Amino acid sequence: MKVWGSKGNPSQGKARLAFAGVSLLCLFLLLAAAASAQRTPLKPGWNMFTPQQDIEVGKRAAVDAERQLPLCNAPKVDAYLTELGVRLAAKLPTGGVQYPFAFHCVNDKAINAFALPGGYVFINRGAIEVADNEAQLAAVMAHELSHVALRHGTNQATKTQAAEGFLGIAGGIFGGSAGGALLTQLGAFAAGGVLLRYSRSAESQADVMGTQVLYDSGYDPRAMAQFFEKLEAETKGKNPPEFLSDHPNPEHRLERVDEEIDKLGGVPPTAKRDSAEFEAIKREVLALPVVKKPVPGEAVAPKTPVLPSAKFELYQGNAYTLKYPDNWKKYPDNNGSGASFAPEGGVVDDGSGHAALAYGLIVRITQAPGDPNDWDALNNATQQLIQELQKSNPNMKITRQSERVRLNGQPGLATYLSNDSPVGGQETDWVITTLRSEGLVSFVCVAPQSAYEKYDKTFDAILDSVRFQK
């Protein structure tokens, strides 16, 4: 059937229809732009880390997490989470940063999920099992991905560093409260004490951005509020689920999500809620064997690090160089004067959220007056250092008094101490000190007493390789 114009001309009718179509399209685009303009603008806060450092820190933390957590080891589940996660991540405002997003299922029935800096996301099976539909699981993942885009982990680390000053492994053994922040720099999973401890403001931002991501991905954005409602309803009168324990509950959380949905223009009529893929994966997760969780307070035997390699790599500090085993990691301090070296698993959580060196070496330079060739000045500075160590390690004792040695031709003192090891039993701390124009340079060699002889030759080789800059 032809549509005629006012003068019976078919071409004019078609032109009017085309014009009407363009008008409707323009109206739709204008409405979409208005909705977009009304959404809450969000951007990352103050951060002394670069996005690339986010990725590096997150990658190291993810390696530790994969080693320590009971992963589901279910390829279909991980593939589904990856497909869903990548779809959501495509809607994140990352400012052009290409994060290497990775998604893993954790075999833990606790309702929880977390994302490390750089986009390494871990979702407990409990979060999948409790979700009523795909939109609710997408809400959890969108919330976590928003923490990545807003760089909340390293933002928190930045605040911690600014508040505590010194950031490095030395903080763990030399005292101070930098222990939690130190693992942030290491990227060890135990860094969760800082990397994953968000403020209520950060949680609210992740809720809002997560709601925007759901909307932009075609999901029902109400799923964000529905998931939180579900958590609160299921745990009334009980301990809160791990998700709410780890993610502090902002005030008026549900109302804020609803407010953002209104700003976005309401729930789209075609919003997606569920999928056959989600229901199939949920059945697969429910059928997985349950991994027994450690009983709180129950001792868990730490993993023994691999023995030091016979091959060495060169480290260049501001005032010295040294060589260290190539299967150890190096952790320079921010100013480049000090550094720590440890094997995989050599830095552990001391049980209170702080980092502790169980195996490895710490190099530190502290201000100290005196002539580098004056043995008395060296002895006085060394005794002050030992007293400082004992203040932060009350059970540390001198087992062999300081003896004179030479370190790259410089006068030095070698002192043996014992201390409680963070992996149980006692440890040996061999402290070598020398006085330089930069200050007192100390090398603290640490290993459990039961394993010290396996590290003794390595420590000797490291110290023999030390060269000071003129």
Q: Count how many domains the chain has.
A: 2
If asked whether residues 65 and 191 sit together in one domain, one would say yes
If asked whether residues 270 and 327 sit together in one domain, one would say no
If asked whether residues 188 and 83 sit together in one domain, one would say yes
User: In the structure encoding, which two tokens stand for residue 431, read together?
Assistant: 């402290």
If asked whether residues 358 and 278 sit together in one domain, one would say no
What CATH number is associated with residue 436? 3.40.1000.10
User: In the structure encoding, which two tokens stand for residue 194, read together?
Assistant: 């800082």
Residue 18 lies in a domain: no
Q: DSSP letters of 16-28?
A: HHHHHHHHHHHHH
Residue 44 lies in a domain: no
| Cβ neighbours of residue 87 closer than 8 Å, sequence gap 6 or more | 217
> How crowded is the C-beta side of 358, counted as CA atoms within 13 Å?
25
Residue 25 lies in a domain: no
Residue 33 lies in a domain: no
Helix (H) or strand (E) holding 254: helix 253-263
Question: Which stretches of 39-176 are DSSP H helices?
Answer: 51-68, 75-89, 125-130, 134-149, 152-164, 170-173
Hey, what amino acid is at 73? N
Residue 400 lies in a domain: yes
Residue 8 lies in a domain: no
If asked whether residues 122 and 256 sit together in one domain, one would say yes
Domain that holds residue 322: 312-468
Give the pLDDT of the chain (470 residues) as one tens digit per residue: 222 233 344 444 443 434 344 444 444 444 444 445 589 999 999 888 899 988 988 888 888 788 888 999 999 999 999 999 999 999 999 999 999 999 999 999 988 899 999 999 999 999 999 999 999 999 999 999 999 999 998 888 777 665 544 344 444 444 433 333 334 344 444 444 556 678 889 999 999 999 999 999 999 999 999 998 888 776 665 555 555 555 656 678 899 999 999 999 999 999 999 999 999 999 999 999 987 655 544 545 556 899 999 999 999 988 899 999 999 998 877 566 788 999 988 888 666 555 688 999 999 999 898 898 899 999 999 999 999 898 888 899 999 999 999 998 899 999 999 999 988 899 999 999 999 999 999 999 999 999 999 999 999 999 999 999 87
Taking the model in full, what pTM does it have?
Answer: 0.58
If asked whether residues 402 and 266 sit together in one domain, one would say no
If asked whether residues 180 and 244 sit together in one domain, one would say yes
Residue 354 lies in a domain: yes
Residue 57 lies in a domain: yes
In this structure, how many other beta carbons lie within 10 angstroms of the beta carbon of residue 159?
17
Over its C-alpha atoms, the chain yields an Rg (Å, rounded) of 29
- Among positive and negative, which fits the CA dihedral 232, 238, 240, 242? negative
Calpha distance 376→355 (Å, rounded): 34
Q: What are phi and psi of 368, to 5 degrees?
A: -155, 130
If asked whether residues 182 and 248 sit together in one domain, one would say yes
If asked whether residues 169 and 222 sit together in one domain, one would say yes
CA–CA distances in Å: residue 328 to residues 286, 301, 310, 343, 359: 40, 21, 11, 4, 10
If asked whether residues 281 and 321 sit together in one domain, one would say no
If asked whether residues 277 and 348 sit together in one domain, one would say no
If asked whether residues 156 and 61 sit together in one domain, one would say yes
